Amino acid sequence: MVESIDEEKIMIELKNFNFKRNSLSYEYLIDTIKIVANDRMVMRDFLKYVYRPVADRYKTSPKNVLWCISKLINLMYFNTNEEIIEDYFKVSKNNKPSTKAFIIGVARKIY
Give me the residue spans of the domains in the chain: 7-110
Q: Which run of H or of E encompasses 95?
A: none
| pLDDT for position 92 | 82
How does pLDDT run across 81-103, given as a tens digit for each residue? 999 999 999 988 778 899 999 99
* Cβ neighbours of residue 89 closer than 8 Å, sequence gap 6 or more: 97, 101, 102, 105
Hey, what CATH topology would domain 7-110 get? Arc Repressor Mutant, subunit A (1.10.10)
Average pLDDT over residues 47-61: 97
Residue 90: HSE in the Cβ half-sphere, 13 Å Cα cutoff? 3
pLDDT of residue 2: 42
Would the pTM of this model clear 0.75, i.e. be above it? Answer: yes
How far lies 94's CA from each of 9, 61, 77, in Å? 28, 31, 10
Q: Is the pLDDT score of 4 beyond 80?
A: no
| Whether residue 1 has pLDDT greater than 50 | no
Amino acid identity, residue 75?
L
Q: Under a CB-based contact definition with an 8 Å cutoff, are residues 85 and 74 in contact? A: no
Percent of the chain having pLDDT more than 70?
Answer: 96
In the DSSP assignment, the letter for residue 15 is: T
2: DSSP letter:
P
